[in-house]
Structures are given as structure tokens and as C-alpha cells.
Structure 1
Amino acid sequence: MTHKPLTGLYVMDPARFDDVYGPDERIEIEHHLTIEQPPCAAEDLSAATLRDVEVLVTGWGAPRLTADFLDRAPRLRLVLYAAGSVRPLVTDASWERGIRISSAGTVIADKVADFALSQILYALKHGWRYVLTARRTRSAAVRLSEPGTAGATVGLVSLGATGRATARLLLRHGVRVLAHDPYVPDSDARALGVEPATLNRVFAECDVVSLHAPLIDETRGMVDARLLRSMRLDATLVNTARGGLVDEAALVTVLRERPDLFAVLDVTDPEPPRDGSPLFQLDNVVVTPHLAGSLGPERRMLGQAMAEELSRYIAGRPLRHEVVADAMEHAA
């Protein structure tokens, strides 16, 4: 049976469009959609452009689905979002009007987990410490007592998509994994192969603590001086989630107090750090420029995931990456 193509529109940051939706992805999408307008930025949308749109194909720089926007797009039924968290996108109005949202967040989560794993394993070998010590002293670093992976304990803060992906990768390396997530039943954590624990235990007992929580009111600044001071000797904090999870002033204070501790920060608050930030002056911290996630050619994986979602939607099959309102409150 032949279906009439739905009317679609590409709307996102023009600078990132080709990174996400390459020729192959556009061919697959346009097999199902009639797209007559060239890709445009959210601020360039007009009521006439939106009037007949049924499927919005977007990514970074997506328009917010406010009531006013939806009034101008009365036929909109599906949004394909080739990016991560949909918090900047969805509103109460979009849920109330039954707009279906599919996000490539779980695709990005797998890439973040890859990066987190690399930093966790490197931390268990004290890799960054040796590199920075050798550079500072201009001589070979003296070996410390590295935990390695055998018998090491790693703590995960949050078992959202990224936390779960990181846990699965870690368990292949024989480490003990503790996890704190107050919204995940203990039985679910154990089924994943990790040990549920309080936040206090995670920080006090783990050789490496890796953050994967969403930044919401209740998590902002949750990693405070008390938790940092409770970390075991020679422990490392890895943050690939959001900089605002950590009280940065407290982190700087504790890292100065305890040179045995180390921090690997792929995200900061603000991001990037201000010029002259103490984070660039301490010997026991490494700052990377938000490398976790999908970079360069990896971003085509996001567009491909959304093209596949569209095919499933047209065929009446369940969407693999659909985001529902009930899962949003504490989602990363």
C-alpha cells in the first residue's frame, strides 16, 4: 500500500546541519517526507512555513515547542531530535497536544560512556597523574600504588542512559561497581550487575566516582565539600555530565587541601572555564573541552537514528528513542 508522503521541515542550527544529516540520511528521510523548504534556523521560521508541517526534523538549535509555536504548526505530530536532552525543546503544551518526540540521546549516551570508560580506566592506572608529574618535574614520575582494575571499586552517580551504558562497559573489566540513583529500584540496579548504594557510600568507598546525573534543581551543586573530603585516598572524580553538578569552589578548595585526590572534568560551570580559573593551575585536575558525546563524523549516527525512527513511525512500529513525559522529570 502506498502512503502519501508527510510534509516535513528541517529546522536546526545551520552550522551543524550537514554534520548531522548527511546525504544518506536525507535520502532516507525524504523517501518518507515531502520537504520543499531548505534547512533553516529556528529564528527564521514563519507561520506560512509551519502551517502544513507534520514532521519536524531537527537537532541542536531546535525551536522550543511553546503553545504559540504549536498554534502556528497545527498539523505537527512528530519531532525527530538528533541531539541529546529534550529539556530545551519540550513544554507542557507539547505534551498536552500529544506531539511525539524522538531523541538521539541514547545514541549520544553510548559515546559519552565510551569516553567515561576511557577516563575511569586511565584514572585507575593513575595515568594523568604520571603525565602531569613528569611534565612538571621534567623527569620520570615515581610510581605510586595504582589500584588498577582488579579489585577496584568504581562509583556511578545516576543510572540513566549514560550511567547504564557506562556500567555495562565497566563490568567487562572486572571492577566492582556501586551506583547511586534514588529513582532506580535496587532490584533494577542489581539486575544490571551493579550494587545500589547511597551517595555517601559511593564517594567514601570508590577509587573513581563518575558523574552521570541530570542537572536539575535538586542536583545542582550536589557534589559539595563534604562529599569531596570523604573520598578515599588517591581517589579520582570524573565528570562527563554537567559542570553544575559540582560545587566548583568547593572542588578547588578540597583539591588544594588534598593533593592525593584528582579530578577529570570534561564539563565545567561555566563552560568553558573563565580565563585564569584555578582549574588550570592545580596539579591534580585535568580539564578537557567537552569531548564526551558525539563529535565530527559520529554525529551522522544521530541523523541516521532519526531517519530510522521516521521509517518505524511510517510503518506504524514502536519508536526506539521516543521520549515520554513521565520519564522527563529525572532524566539526564
Structure 2
Amino acid sequence: MTTRVLAAGDLFVRNRLFIDALRAAAPGDLEFAELTLPWPVEPFGRVAEVDEASGTEERLIEALRGARICVTQMAPLTRRVLEACPDLELFGISRGGPVNANLEAATEHGVAVCYAPGRNAGATAEHTLALILAAVRRIPQTHGDLVAGQWRGDYYRYEAVGFELLGSTVGLVGCGAVGRRVARMLAALGAKVLVHDPYLDGLGDLADVAELVPLDDLLARAQIVSLHARATPQTTGMIGAAQIAAMAPGSIIVNCARGALLDYEAACDAVESGHLFAAAFDVFPEEPIPAGSRLLTTPNVIVTPHLAGASKQTAANAARIIAEDVGRHLRGEPLLHCANPGALTVPRPA
């Protein structure tokens, strides 16, 4: 029996990556349709009731005609799409979380949604380390001055220089797939690593390189604080003015996780006042960053455009993880990364 699959890739996780991964991991006769979404050339946004999506409901509905399976990164799985596509039974989202899917509606329609946790852990961990080093050593500022014709010897003043990671204390707020990699990288460079994560009972194989501590203790002791938590109602705004004030004078804060975790106005205030030596961010409460934002003008604030996870390996990992769950689905095996297991018990149309 031929299974029709829609590969709704984009300009990062391309259709050929999905199709090659599916041919390697999924059994049987697969027939492919393709839809290319405009992300990242066009920013993602809200589509109907789902967030961080690319493309339109209309284009997706048309492309899904007769498809039992869809693999994508950014396509919007909305109630309208589900109602228009009764053949659909599995929707694979090649991201760390299925934010562009209406999980309640998918469950009602018996459509399982799988996702790809850890796909970009290596890339994001490396980008985090890069931002830490860039902030500590003032690399963007000194580069900008030099190409502008200024040889800034005054950066060598004791008050202006940063510190080495060797012997420094770094605090990680959250210790999932990314945080664990960052912890090992920092430990290899000679840093003392503190971890705060209320969902951990212990550090497991990180016990030899890190110490599990309460958040207040981490903020008081760390010279660098790096955020690695998911955005949930419990973590939204968890680092605000009071928490930044509790950090040691001259310290650094880094965020490559989610913009909702941090009060950016408070961070800019702290950098401007000199309480923080620097800050470095890859994620923001509003993306793209609005024109006129203090994030673009505050000295010693380093920003990159939400590309910590951007690597060729991430794109390949994303396609592979989803393809493996497609293979499990077609073989009648349990899905490894199902966001709505209740959908698997809903009777499918005959």
C-alpha cells in the first residue's frame, strides 16, 4: 500500500533532508508531495491559533490532499487544517517543541503530533559558549572599533578587561539537553559549574563537573549566568530586576533559550549602570527586535538573531528524528516523541 507523505520543508530543514531521512527510516512504498515554506527569509509568526508558524492554512490544506503523514518544521497545524484534511494521521514537527500545532484539536481528530527534542542541542551549546566568550572578551565591540579605524588600547585598562573562564564560576539555569552540553564544555575550560533545575533529582553523569544549587545561591555565586530553561507559566519572567540585582557586580548574563525567561529592560538597566559587565542574547520577547529597542543601542549588550541552533547538523538531526518516528508509526510501534498520546486512542475514520 502506498503512503502519501507531505514534506513541508523550508529554507533550513529542506525537503530533500526529510525525504532522504524518510527513505532510510520508514518502510513501505512512500509517495511524496512537497511544499516549501518561506522561513527564515520571512519571519515566522502567528497563524490562526498557533504560534511560530510559516506559510498559510490555505496552502497547507491544498498540499495535504490525500496525505496520511506530514513532516515539517514550521507549517501551521490548526483546527481548520485538521477539519479539512481527514486523511491525516501523523504530523511530524522537526523542532524541540510542537509550538505550531493545536494539540487539543489534533487529539480530537486522532492526529498524533511528534517532535524532535534535542535536535539542536550541540549547535545551541556551542553558540552559548561563543556568546559567553564574546561578552567576556568584548570581541564584538573591539572588532567594531578596529574596522571603524580606532585602535582602542584603553580596553587594556584593568577596569575594562574581562576575566578568564578558568577558575570562574558559571551558573546554568536549566539543565536539559543544551545545558548539559554547556556544563561539560565549561568544565573542560576550567570553570566551576553551578546548576539550578527544579525538575532534576540529581545531576547523574554531571555530578563530577557541576553542583546542583537553589537559584538564589546560583545568582549570588556565579560570575556568568546562562539561561537554558523552557518557557512555561512557571519560568516566564523568572529572571527580573530583583534576580539581576542579586548577581555579583561585574557579572554577565546570557540567554540562548527563550525570550520570555528574562526582563530585558532590567538587563539593559544593569548593563548601563555597570552592575553587569555585559549581556549576550540570541532570543528576545519580540522577534525581530523592534527598531529603536534598547537592545540595539546599549553598550556591552551583544545580540544575534535567534540562530543559536543554526547548523547543518541541526537540520539533518531534525529530519532524522522525525523520520524515525514516522517509521515507528508505519510499523505500528509506539512513537518515541509524541506530544499528544491521547490521539492514538481516538478511532480513525474507516
Cα-Cα RMSD: 3.3
Deviation at 1:172, TM superposition (A): 2.7
How is 1:30-45 mapped onto 2 (pairs within 5 angstroms)?
A: 32=28, 34-35=30-31, 37-39=33-35, 41-44=55-58
1:330 aligned partner: none
Deviations 1:149-199 (A, max 9, x none): 221111111122222232233333232111111122235485484211222
Query: Structure 1 pair 128/228, CA: closer, same or farther in 2 (3 Å)?
Result: farther
Residue in structure 2 matched with residue 205 of structure 1 by the alignment: 221
Deviations 1:203-237 (A, max 9, x none): 22112111112222332222111111222132111
Distance 1:151 1:43, change over 3 A: same
Residue in 2 aligned with 1:329? none
- Residue correspondence of structure 1 range 251-266 to structure 2 within 5 A: 251-258=267-274, 260-266=276-282
In the aligned structure 2, how far is the partner of 1:166 from the partner of 1:230? 23
Residue 142 of structure 1 pairs with residue 156 of structure 2: yes
1:83 aligns to 2:95 (yes or no): yes
In structure 1, the gaps of 5 or more residues are 327-332
State the AA in 1 paired with 2:74: W
List per-residue Cα deviations over 1:53-77 (Å, max 9, x = no partner): 322111113323x3x5444444433
Report if the CA contact (8 A) 1:259-1:284 is conserved: no
3-state SS in 2 of match to 1:57 = strand
The residue aligned with 1:153 is 169
Label 1:63 to 1:139 Cα distance change in 2 as closer, same or farther (>3 A). Answer: same
Instruction: Give the alignment partner of residue 3 of structure 2, picking from 3, 6, 11.
Output: 6
2:290 is matched with: 274
- Give the SS at the match of 1:20: coil
What is the DSSP-based 3-state SS (H/G/I as helix, E as strand, rest coil) of the residue aligned with 1:35? strand
> Which aligned pairs between 1:300-319 and structure 2 lie closer than 5 A?
300-315=316-331
Shift of residue 264, structure 1, vs aligned partner: 0.6
Give the one of 107, 111, 118 matched to 1:106: 118
How do 1:1-332 residues align onto structure 2 when only pairs under 5 Å count?
Answer: 4-11=1-8, 16=10, 19-23=12-16, 25-29=18-22, 32=28, 34-35=30-31, 37-39=33-35, 41-44=55-58, 50=64, 52-64=66-78, 66=79, 69-95=81-107, 99-128=111-140, 131=143, 138-140=151-153, 141-144=155-158, 146-188=162-204, 191=207, 193-258=209-274, 260-295=276-311, 299-315=315-331, 322-324=337-339
Confirm or deny: 8 A CA contact 2:18 2:71 kept in the other structure.
no
The residue identity in structure 2 corresponding to 1:215 is A
- Between the aligned partners of 1:142 and 1:299, the Cα distance in structure 2 is 41
Structure 1, 44-53 or 103-112: larger mean CA deviation: 44-53
| Number of residue pairs the alignment of both structures matches | 316
Q: Distance in 1 between matches of 2:234 and 2:218?
A: 18
User: 1:94–1:191: structure 2 CA closer, same or farther, 3 Å change rule?
Assistant: farther
- Partners of 1:304 and 1:178 in 2: CA distance: 33
Percent identity of equivalent pairs: 28
2: CA distance between counterparts of 1:189 and 1:227?
29
CA distance in 2, matches of 1:257, 1:138: 25
- TM-score normalised to structure 1 length: 0.79
Inter-CA distance 38–124: structure 2 relative to 1 (3 Å threshold): closer
Q: TM-score, normalised by structure 2?
A: 0.76
